[in-house]
Structure 1
């Protein structure tokens, strides 16, 4: 069995927080933030209406009709602005986000379909969409508050506070629009997309359990039962570690997760092997597993490496033919592998408060990560000296960084790359050029 890890995460002894299906669903959709914002608009509008009514009532009690006349004139001026805002905002929303959808489609075709998730989960994008719709809705509500022609002494409400609030929302919309355009343009640049993926991958690595133990495999005891998956088919995205540890502790058993995070499971797939006793009751294991349509970064630290490899492969395809982008992806693959080269891999052990192992979770091993990062790109890199030179340099750097017992897969990939180049390139000088280590590819 490979190396073992104990629970840690960002802080020693702290378990990674589990993602609920609801929270993950809300992150991947656009409906929640705009809906919540528009509900909030109704509340704010009702409060502002009450303030406007209270101001008018106070001035009428004081018989300060001159101030009311001044407020009426200001409100008439504000009404013209609010009318323009209400008529133009919806058109503005349609044009802006239509262009954005085209940009997302282009990014998906050029980089990888997986990067669309970055656009969908963007907080700036959701905030901009929510504020735009809220401004449009508020402007309509404010227009309904304006009364017809009336003298100051008979008016019941002057929506002056509401108009000021609408203008404030308009200013916020313009500010968010600038930020939104800036971020969208950044996300259309491959260097920023790759950097974003890498940062997400490192966050996942930071949530990895740390530490090392020995002799734990024999302590699990024989397998006594299995728990199968009864939910929908999909990708195993997340397991609720705290609830699983608690359920195993109550039964006095050890649960071993059979599939890895990121595996596709169907009804009937064995999920848990039970060691040391009967399986926990179905109710205690309910909602401990999150299955969805795509992988996430939360407990799947290899997902970032998968996306980087996809980008490199897409860049090396005949349709794209962009070896420089492939080199940028290799840069980040090397960075990621260098960061985990000295960390325990293969299996994570999660313990209860007394230090007893209650959950065994498989994670990708070092060889699997190296293969994921290099195997496919290496197979497509032959004939592209810029990429082969970067691969040789990256593998050489990792051989120096990695512990001695983890150098074999790196040396294997280097040898396979050399063999492929020697077999495909006829000229000796071209072979030497293609296999010369260069961290920039070809400058």
Structure 2
């Protein structure tokens, strides 16, 4: 991958990714916006009434009050029905998510959690409900236009607009949810997220450079969990100020426990604790923010679930192999392995270990090859994928592909006793079986 296509991480990138993995931030932000919108609409309504009273347009003000009283019935109906509607819709959605996680893999739940349309729909639904309650509190029992202080005309119109937006988002939400319940869109989403991680990976050569003697280590002091992401910019700054080189010991996706080393220091003393604060983030599960292998892990999990005797869905495994081969074809000529992060002067300040080509190939094919006995459809698709990758791979990256192809042939010869069946299973086919 060239440096031209590399997009360095933004300063708030880890925080942004953590907020995308939560379901509370968008509704909370929506509540704040609702209060601001209601306050602005109330001011407009008060200004409109004041203007009509100054102009002594009491007939128009009376018509305005009559219209707002008619709109009150609609706002009351919206307020009473919206919360029930929210409960029914999202209860059904949770059941659908549970079914998808059982049929595919529990790791796909994060797709629903991070779905923008899901969060936007929930936020607008709740905002409509809260806004309608605030509007109902703005209605006055007094119908006399001379004594009226505020008539919630603008507020009522905004409530109707929010209702229309809620209905539109409901249609889009149902369409999006139904797509995510299908295997094809799910594996396509995983593949697109994996390519997004790939675009964030730095390019250039990955030759090992001498780091100097290791002088100290930094132990993990936080909670136990999976290493989700690393604030590389902050670590580079800390290493530059201390004039040392830092080396990240665990890989992204490794499980770390308190007391184990996470950083090795080369060439000097350990940077001060405040400089290393909030640089290493752990969580309860892996994410695709910086984890290049997590996409392959999810695709492999879906394929393994499909090949299990309880599911027995080889076509789903073939769809996963399609995306696995697509991803490996994209990285077959790219630099892999340890990443050297440099400061502005071009000096290496942070070394971050990453998966090599053989690691990716083993993750993609090893478990599937073990579990596909008795499925000629998957055998034929895997052979076709390996042949395609052998055509694309440079000479130094052909060895693991040749090894997996030879092991696949041996597995077919060992498990398929009939010669005609063996010949059929060893015929490469990009669709598996037509």
Distance in 2 (alpha carbons) for counterparts of 1:175 and 1:296:
31
> Which residue of the other structure, out of 40, 54, 64, is the alignment partner of 1:61?
54
- Contact 1:124/1:179 (8 A) holds in 2: yes
Task: Note if contact 1:327-1:386 (Cα within 8 Å) is conserved in structure 2.
Answer: yes
Hey, what does 1:402 align to over in structure 2? 393
Aligned to 2:156: 163
Q: Is residue 65–residue 143 contact of structure 2 (8 Å, CA) maintained in 1?
A: no
C-alpha contact 2:244 2:269 (8 A) present in aligned 1: yes
Aligned to 2:79: 86
In the other structure, the counterpart of 1:298 is: 289
Q: 1:8, 1:208 within 8 Å by CA — same for their partners in 2?
A: no
Deviations for 1:218-246, whole angstroms, at most 9, x for unmatched residues? x2112111111111101111111111111
1:18 shift after superposition: 6.1
One of 404, 407, 426 as aligned partner of 1:416? 407
Look up the SS of the partner of 1:63 in the other structure: coil
SS at match of 2:316: helix
Answer 1 or 2: higher relative contact order, Cα 8 Å, separation at least 6.
Answer: 1
Distance 1:396 1:250 in 2: 49
Q: 5+ residue gaps in structure 1?
A: none
1:261-317 deviation line (CA, Å, top 9, x unaligned) = 110000011111111112212221111111111111121111101101011001111
Between 1:122-131 and 1:40-49, the stretch displaced more is 40-49
TM score, norm. by length of structure 1 = 0.95
Q: 2:179 aligns with which of 169, 186, 196?
A: 186
Q: Which residue of 1 aligns with 2:345?
A: 354
Alignment partner of 1:249 out of 219, 227, 240: 240
Give, in whole Å, the separation in 1 of the partners of 2:206 and 2:177. 45
Q: Residues 125-166 of structure 1: CA distance to partner in whole angstroms, max 9, x if unpaired?
A: 001000001101111111111111422112111111110010
Counterpart among 259, 266, 278 of residue 269 in structure 2: 278
CA–CA separation in structure 2 for the residues paired with 1:322 and 1:288: 43
- What is the number of equivalent residue pairs in this alignment? 434
1:213 CA drift (Å): 5.0
CA 153–18 in structure 1, closer or farther in 2 if over 3 Å, else same = closer
- Work out whether residues 9 and 15 of structure 1, in 8 Å CA contact, stay in contact via their aligned partners in 2: no
TM-score (norm 2): 0.97
1:138 aligned residue: 131
Contact (CA 8 Å) 1:309, 1:373: kept in 2 or not?
Answer: yes
Query: Matched residues in 1 for 2:12 and 2:43: separation?
Result: 41
**Structure 1 segment 369-408 matched on structure 2, within 5 A:** 369-408=360-399
Q: Tell me: CA distance 1:403–1:348, structure 2 relative to 1, closer, same or farther (3 Å).
A: same
Equivalent-residue separation in structure 1 for 2:293 and 2:115 (angstroms): 21
Aligned to 2:311: 320
**Counterpart Cα distance in 1 of 2:8 and 2:164:** 42
Q: Supply the distance in 2 between the matched residues of 1:22 and 1:256 (Cα, whole angstroms).
A: 23
User: Counterpart of 2:18?
Assistant: 25
Structure 1 residue ranges, 4+ long, deviating more than 6 angstroms after superposition: none
Pick the aligned partner of 1:341 from 332, 339, 346.
332
After superposition, give the CA deviation of every residue in 1:74-99 in whole Å (9 maximum; x if it has no partner): 11221111111111111110110011
Aligned residue number for residue 223 of structure 1: 214
Q: CA RMSD in A?
A: 1.5
Match of 2:88 in 1: 95
SS in 1 for 2:410: helix
Cα pair distance change 1:335/1:295, threshold 3 Å: same
Hey, what's the Cα distance between the residues in 2 that align with 1:162 and 1:363?
55
